[in-house]
Structure 1
Amino acid sequence: MKERIQKLLARAGYGSRREIEQWVVAGEVLVNGQMAHLGQQISTQDKVSWRGKTLHLESRLQATPKVLLYHKTAGEVCTRTDPEGRPTVFENLPRLRQGRWVMVGRLDVNTDGLLLFTTDGELANRLMHPSSEIEREYATRVLGEVDAEMLHRLQTGVELEDGPAKFLRITDAGGEGANHWYHVVLAEGRNREVRRLWESQDVRVSRLIRIRYGHISLPRHLRGGHHEELDVKGMRRLYESVGLSFDDGSLQQERPRRTVNKARSEPTSERGDFRKSSTPRPRVESREKPYANARAKSTGRPNLTSSKPRSRD
């Protein structure tokens, strides 16, 4: 059965659809010795190469897809290589025998929090596509005075340079004085959108942490710079949330994966299915620790507990 080239290569885990489309347009992909074109129908029987390297589509498609949760820290960049020599999120990911990690969205260099990686480019495309309306939730520390009228404008919509934008929900997360924490929810992933929305109201975000992507929350035990593989139940639910099916096959008998310690490459225990905790809180590698609301009133620090997302299944 033939599929469009960008879709088949994405399913095989060679990249996201957008990345593959860029390769095709740049003339870097050949099919049976001829330059490929966007929308071209191919199958696993075709000989496909990228930048001179043969792509093994059939073996890639037979491999079980993986999804990785990663706790990004401020200062890391969301690229495979950085000309300035800054640390990248890919440096801390486990090596793959087959496939490559495809990043689901990105976070800017000064933002902490949850990043998803997968070996299934089609899944990545669905999770990032605006039509899926996947919620992203952030804990934001805002510097400046915020009033009820301002919060109302941010939820009804303001005009940014790339079009109208708004928060779906805003929740007060505690704090006193000039620095106050809020949890905000978006259903899209435009560049620096959270920061630009607050800046449109003449206040500034001094700390930003993504604590949820879709139904997956940042596990509170997952430290900055560490990763954790999603288990079978979590994979099935994630695929279903974007209208895809996940064939676990023999994975039913596999034991849950374990967290890998970046510094020593030693495994530590995992808590299993991330859905069991309806209000997980991230553990942030910083002088500032997450606190409950009651204590936040006296300390000025936030409650980073994620609010329960609406069901999309």
Structure 2
Amino acid sequence: MSEKLQKVLARSGLGSRRHMEQAIIDGRVSVNGVVASLGDRVAVGDELRLDGRLVHFSVESELRRRVIAYYKPEGEICSRSDPEGRPTVFDNLPRIKDERWVMVGRLDINSTGLLLFTNDGEFANRLMHPSSGIEREYAVRVMGTLTPEVQRTLCDGVELDDGPARFESVSELGGEGFNRWWQVVVKEGRNREVRRLFESQNLKVSRLLRTRYGTQKLPRELRTGRWVELDKPDIDALLGAVELRPRRGGTGLFGIAKRRVDKLRDNPLPPRPVDAGRQRRSREAAAEGRPARIQRHDGNARPAQQGGGAGADQQRKGGFLRQQRRDGRNKDPQSGE
């Protein structure tokens, strides 16, 4: 079975279908060594390259569409890697063979809450595109007084540096004194949009937590730094919101994976702390102008640490295992390790 070239590239997470069409027009894509043209198709066994780099792909009918919900903690950045060696949201995600997780939207380093990841690039792009009108809901702690007049102004719309923006709704959640919690909804994912809307009214956001993306709420059993894979009903609800059909390859959880998620609901894992030592090392490395030592959760480090001998290696290993026990990783039903 063959598929349109731009569809395969978009699903691989390399960009939207429109951007991939432009890449084909620009002559950046080749199939089996021949520069591709718009309208070409690709099948299993073909060699597909973008800008000379090999693209690993599978046809749609063979793939099971997967989505995971991740509770992002404060201090992680929304990037696959960071030159400063800071922790990223991808550090704790499970590995998937011959595929990769595509992030749906972003949260800044000081924000927390729901992040969705999928192995379907087209699905991710539709969820993020403003034309889909997907709602993002946030719980926000605001320093200052949010009067009814200010609420109306924020819902009517204000002019930001990158154009007009507005809240779909604003409602009070509670709190006392100078810091109160509010629930706000937007339909775009522009950089720091929620914070900038409040700043336009001389109000400062001290905490920001995403509680919902489209039809998917932040699971109650999820703790910071942890993830859970969504089942078919939740995925189908998101698909319906962006008018995508379910795949023949299947959607959702089966067998052992489904039992693991059911067990997680009954026995939530404890929060996974952000690696404060790694943050400190990255700042020190940046100050000294050297590459940061990146600590992985499998205990490997890059670049390799010099010296120390076998005794030091044993000491590091023991410390790592103790940390695994403290954060519950050694009994993580989803880690696959």
Give the TM-score range, shorter chain. Answer: 0.7 to 0.9
Between 239-248 and 196-205, report the one with greater CA deviation: 239-248
Task: From the superposition, tell whether residues 124 and 253 of structure 1 become closer, same or farther in structure 2 (CA, over 3 Å).
Answer: closer
d(CA) in 1 for partners of 2:35 and 2:60? 22
Unpaired segments of 5 or more residues in structure 1? 270-313
Match of 2:209 in 1: 209
Structure 2 contact 230–253 (Cα < 8 Å) conserved: no
Q: Is the aligned partner of 1:266 residue 2:331?
A: yes
Percent pairwise identity: 48
Task: From the superposition, tell whether residues 19 and 89 of structure 1 become closer, same or farther in structure 2 (CA, over 3 Å).
Answer: farther
Aligned residues, how many? 267
Partner deviation per Cα, 1:183-215 (whole Å, 9 max, x = no partner)? 000011111100000000001001000000001
Task: From the superposition, tell whether residues 246 and 30 of structure 1 become closer, same or farther in structure 2 (CA, over 3 Å).
Answer: same
Match of 1:278 in 2: none
Match of 2:87 in 1: 87
d(CA) in 2 for partners of 1:137 and 1:61? 33
Structure 1 contact 154–166 (Cα < 8 Å) conserved: yes
Task: From the superposition, tell whether residues 179 and 169 of structure 1 become closer, same or farther in structure 2 (CA, over 3 Å).
Answer: same
Task: From the superposition, tell whether residues 131 and 252 of structure 1 become closer, same or farther in structure 2 (CA, over 3 Å).
Answer: closer
TM-score (norm 2): 0.71
Structure 2 contact 60–247 (Cα < 8 Å) conserved: no
d(CA) in 2 for partners of 1:228 and 1:115? 11
Q: Which has the higher helix share?
A: 2
d(CA) in 2 for partners of 1:187 and 1:241? 13
Match of 2:41 in 1: 42
d(CA) in 2 for partners of 1:142 and 1:28? 47
Match of 1:304 in 2: none
Give the drift of 1:145: 1.9
Backbone CA RMSD of aligned residues: 2.9
Q: Equivalent residues in 2 for 1:1-313 (5 A)?
A: 5-11=5-11, 13-17=12-16, 21=20, 24=23, 29-35=29-35, 39=38, 41-44=40-43, 46-50=46-50, 54-58=54-58, 62-247=62-247, 254-255=254-255, 256=258, 257-258=260-261, 259=264, 263=327, 264-268=329-333
Unpaired segments of 5 or more residues in structure 2? 273-326
Structure 1 contact 9–20 (Cα < 8 Å) conserved: no
d(CA) in 2 for partners of 1:222 and 1:19? 35
Task: From the superposition, tell whether residues 251 and 143 of structure 1 become closer, same or farther in structure 2 (CA, over 3 Å).
Answer: closer
Structure 1 contact 139–183 (Cα < 8 Å) conserved: yes
Give the drift of 1:58: 3.6
Structure 1 contact 72–225 (Cα < 8 Å) conserved: yes
TM-score (norm 1): 0.76
Task: From the superposition, tell whether residues 19 and 93 of structure 1 become closer, same or farther in structure 2 (CA, over 3 Å).
Answer: farther
d(CA) in 2 for partners of 1:73 and 1:19? 33
Task: From the superposition, tell whether residues 148 and 196 of structure 1 become closer, same or farther in structure 2 (CA, over 3 Å).
Answer: same
Which amino acid letter does the alignment assign opposite residue 98 of structure 2?
Answer: Q
Give the drift of 1:57: 3.1
Give the drift of 1:246: 1.0
d(CA) in 1 for partners of 2:130 and 2:217? 20
